[in-house]
Amino acid sequence: MVLGSGVAGAATAFGLARRGAQVVVVDAGFEGRATDAGAGIIQPWSVAREGDFYDLYADSAAFYPPFVSALVGHGSPDIGFRRVGSLVVSADAAELDAVEERLAARAPAAPAMGEVRRLGPGEALERFPLLDPGVSAISIEGGGRVDGRLLREGLLAAVRKLDGMVVTDAATLEPVDDGFRVVVGVGEALAADAVVVACGAWTNDVLAPLGFSVPVEPQKGQILHLRVSADTSSWPVIHRLGSSHYLLAFDEGRIVAGATREFGSGFDTRVTAFGVEELLRNALVVAPGLANAEVIETRVGLRPLPLSNDQLPVVHRLDIGGSVPLWVNAGFGAAGLTMGPLVGDRLAAEIVGAI
């Protein structure tokens, strides 16, 4: 049984189902699920982080093509994954030099990165016509994007095709003499050979009745969706150096501008004036051509922010005792749509091997 149907839970469920397990996914449908708001940038190679975090990030990007093929093989619909390339942009040549050196060092171990080359201001503008004409860029051929909502729907569709069940209701873990039981809704206890808590920002709320917690807390992210009159289907992802903000183009003129990172937000899912102002200001700095874009919507997601020093997701079995093992899969922060499919698949393999 998997509690939570964001990317972490849905990917774990798909990994279990395609290995022959009978899977039940239970999700309360809380407002603010990060997967539904996330922009889905698949481009880990330019990040400054090193070590285990970068290794997992890069492995997760390399996993995407076979993962998408597996979903298609199980009849899932399009999840919006496209390798459209990405541009790391800046008007500061020294900043771009540092990124270029980092990419060159990583390239031999990351064939999914594809071709990397420097673009002058005119070339960058050709690739993304709304950019500031003065910015230069590094083009990374392997960069891609995915639609978080379509990804979740595709994973759950595959789970259903593999005879799994998806239940929309609240689940509670209740302590009993031999460990715990899962109670769904107003009192129905569901039996399981193993349980995975993959409830994102709500993970500790679910674990609390058992006296457990993990180093994860909600972090609010507001993301603005705009529309322009252009064919944007092949436009690259835009990363602005020195900022957590980005631009991401989808089909039919949709441009996503993100994202705020609001520490200590709790479970606040309101769209705020400060958040929208931050998004617009940062978007227009890098792409002033967006000034006349139509504002479509603002989405809010509560990222499950990892609090450990290594900032890796929390993925392990809890020492709870009893006859039913309990795993947790949470804490991906802003990297969930990239890391979630690989981590969920690896966890599924571990669980199948353990039960």
Distance separating alpha carbons of residues 166 and 93, to the nearest angstrom? 51
Q: Compare 242 and 60 and report the one with higher pLDDT.
A: 60
Mean pLDDT of the 189-199 span: 94
Between CA 157 and CA 151 the distance in angstroms is 10
pLDDT of the residue at 289: 97
pLDDT digits (tens, 9 = 90+) for 8-39: 999 999 999 999 999 999 999 999 999 999 88
Evaluate if residue 354 carries a pLDDT over 90.
Answer: no
**Mean pLDDT (whole number) for 180-186:** 91
Closest CA to 256 of 91, 40, 90, 83: 40
Q: How confident is the model at residue 187 (pLDDT cuts 50, 70, 90)?
A: confident
340: pLDDT confidence band, cut at 50, 70 and 90?
very high
**pLDDT attached to residue 321:** 84
Q: How confident is the model at residue 242 (pLDDT cuts 50, 70, 90)?
A: confident
Average pLDDT of every residue of the chain:
95
**pLDDT tens track for 210-228:** 999 999 999 999 999 999 9
What integer pLDDT is reported at residue 100 of this predicted model? 97
Q: Tell me the two tokens of residue 175.
A: 């302590």
CA distances from 274 to 34, 268, 270, 327 (A): 20, 14, 11, 38
- Cα(248)–Cα(39) distance, integer angstroms: 7
pLDDT of residue 186: 81
Look up the CATH superfamily of 2-34+149-216+309-354.
FAD/NAD(P)-binding domain (3.50.50.60)
Res. 355: pLDDT tops 80: no
- Report the relative pairing of strands 116-119 and 136-140 from DSSP bridges: antiparallel
The whole-number pLDDT of residue 18 equals 96
| pLDDT at residue 83, as a whole number | 96
Is 80 exceeded by the pLDDT of residue 275?
A: yes
Specify the DSSP class assigned to residue 324.
S
**Which letter, b or e, does each residue of 292-302 get, where b requires 16 or more Cβ atoms within 10 Å of its Cβ?**
ebeeeebbbbb
Query: What pLDDT is attached to residue 77?
Result: 82
- 8 A C-beta contact, residue 324 and residue 193: yes
pLDDT of 329 reads 98
Model confidence band, residue 42 (pLDDT cutoffs 50, 70, 90): very high
- Residues 285-307, mean pLDDT to the nearest whole number: 97
Give pTM, 2 decimals. Answer: 0.96
How far is 45 from 110, CA to CA, in rounded Å?
8
The structural domains of the chain, with segments of one domain joined by +, span 2-34+149-216+309-354, 82-144+217-306
82-144+217-306, which class in CATH?
alpha beta
Can you give the pLDDT at residue 22? Answer: 96
pLDDT of 142 reads 97
What angle separates helix 148-161 from helix 336-354, to the nearest 10 degrees?
20
pLDDT, position 322: 85
Sign for the CA dihedral angle at 204, 207, 210, 213 comes to negative
Give the model's pLDDT for residue 78.
86
pLDDT of 287 > 90? The answer is yes
Model pLDDT, residue 185 = 87
Distance CA 43, CA 224 (A): 20
CA distance 2 to 13: 6
Point out the least confidently predicted range of 73-77, 181-185, 247-251: 73-77
Q: What is the pLDDT of residues 136-175, one digit of tens each?
A: 999 999 999 999 999 999 999 999 999 999 999 999 999 9
Q: How crowded is residue 152: how many other Cβ atoms within 10 Å of its Cβ?
A: 24
What average pLDDT does this structure show over 263-267? 96
CA dist 347 and 350 (Å) reads 5
SS3 304: strand
| Per-residue pLDDT, 39 | 83
